[in-house]
């Protein structure tokens, strides 16, 4: 017969602590104040940055959803295992993802090198906020193109398995808000459509039809967050590239041996 705390006495502090935790507590990352990059990969515009969700962003809030439908014989767990284990392989060739070699786990920090067009690149990163066997969520740092969450999930209905990427975002500062208005949203859509298409091909779905939905959740701009332009990773990446190039030119040429 199982014990009844009402008759057997009060639970211990350890038991009370365990009881107060949600069942999926292990799937959430521990709270962090600032991001740390521990693999020696540099971490330009990532190390020391705070995390930013949609509340901390500047621009209009958007919810963007991209999804594909697979045979119900494809299990959601198999989809997410493939996605987490090979995440960067599904990105467009001009962009690079440097994350853990095996899978994405809560608390992981991954570095990104993203092409934003016109030969301009952006060095940034993401934080794995949540991960379980059927979904995982990434969160962005200060200076990223947008402040937000990106949730990847798979679920089975009676007729299909639905694989989805959903972005809840605000542009992080006024410069990014302008960039989003002048082609940034289109490039964001193309990025995730190409990613979802590559994932579908890996899962044996050819041709893949990626469906999309974009909803403006809040049309207000949060001018109190405009000062976040100081952390703009695109500007800082360009400055870093210029200063690195100048420094390399100043180095003396090797003399004769």
Residue 122, pLDDT above cutoff 50: yes
Residue 129, pLDDT above cutoff 80: yes
Least confident range of 60-69, 140-149, 188-197, 201-210: 201-210
Band (22; pLDDT cuts 50, 70, 90): low
| pLDDT reported for residue 152 | 97
Give residue-wise pLDDT tens across range 53-102: 999 999 999 999 999 999 998 999 999 999 999 999 999 888 888 887 67
Domain 35-218+225-237 grouped into CATH 1.10.150.530:
no
Q: Residue 207: is the preceding peptide bond cis (ω within 30°)?
A: yes
- The domain segmentation of the chain, as residue ranges, is 35-218+225-237
Indicate the pTM of the whole model: 0.83
Q: Give the whole-angstrom CA distance, residue 153 versus residue 161.
A: 10
Q: What is the DSSP string of the chain?
A: ----HHHH-PPPHHHHHHHHS-TTGGGBPPP-SS----SSS--TTTTTPPEE-GGG--S-EEEEEEEEEE-TTS-HHHHHHHHHHTGGGGS-TT-EEE--SS---TT-EEEEEEEEETTEEEEEEEEEEEE-SSEEEEEEETTSSEEEEEEEEEEE-SS-EEEEEEEEEEESSHHHHHHIIIIIHHHHHHHHHHHHHHHHHHTT-SS---EEEEEEEE----GGGGGGGGG-HHHHHHHHHHHHHHHHHHSPPPPP-
Residue 173, pLDDT above cutoff 50: yes
| pLDDT reported for residue 95 | 84
The arithmetic mean of pLDDT across residues 189-214, rounded, is 93
Give residue-wise pLDDT tens across range 222-240: 999 999 999 998 888 888 7
| pLDDT reported for residue 225 | 95
Name the region of 183 (left: φ>0; alpha: ψ -120 to 50; beta: rest). left
Spell 206-229 as b/e; 16+ CB within 10 A means b: eebebeeeeeeeeeebbeebeebb
Residue 169, pLDDT above cutoff 60: yes
Q: What's the chain's average pLDDT?
A: 85
The arithmetic mean of pLDDT across residues 246-254, rounded, is 64
Is residue 236 classed exposed, middle or buried when 0-12, 13-18 and 19+ CB atoms within 10 A define those classes? middle
């Amino acid at each position: 017969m199982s014990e009844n705390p009402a008759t057997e006495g009060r639970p211990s502090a350890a038991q009370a602590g365990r009881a107060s935790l949600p069942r999926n507590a292990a799937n959430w990352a521990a709270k962090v104040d600032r991001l740390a990059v521990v693999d020696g990969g540099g971490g330009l515009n990532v190390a020391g940055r705070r995390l930013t969700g949609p509340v901390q962003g500047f621009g209009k809030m958007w919810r963007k959803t991209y999804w594909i439908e697979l045979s119900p014989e494809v299990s959601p767990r198999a989809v997410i295992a493939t996605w987490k284990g090979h995440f960067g392989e599904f990105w467009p060739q001009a962009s690079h993802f440097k994350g853990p070699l095996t899978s994405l786990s809560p608390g992981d920090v991954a570095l990104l090198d993203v092409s934003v067009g016109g030969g301009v690149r952006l060095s940034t990163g993401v934080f794995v906020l949540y991960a379980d066997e059927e979904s995982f969520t990434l969160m962005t740092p200060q200076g990223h193109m947008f402040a937000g969450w990106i949730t990847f999930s798979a679920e089975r209905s009676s007729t299909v398995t639905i694989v989805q990427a959903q972005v809840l975002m605000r542009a992080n500062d006024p410069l990014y808000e302008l960039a989003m208005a002048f082609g940034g949203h289109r490039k964001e859509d193309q990025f995730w459509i190409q990613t979802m298409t590559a994932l579908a091909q890996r899962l044996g779905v050819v041709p893949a039809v990626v469906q999309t939905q974009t909803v403006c959740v809040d049309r207000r701009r949060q001018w109190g967050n405009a000062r976040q332009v100081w952390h703009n990773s695109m500007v800082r990446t360009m400055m870093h590239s210029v200063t690195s190039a100048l420094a390399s030119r100043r180095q003396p040429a090797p003399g004769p041996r």
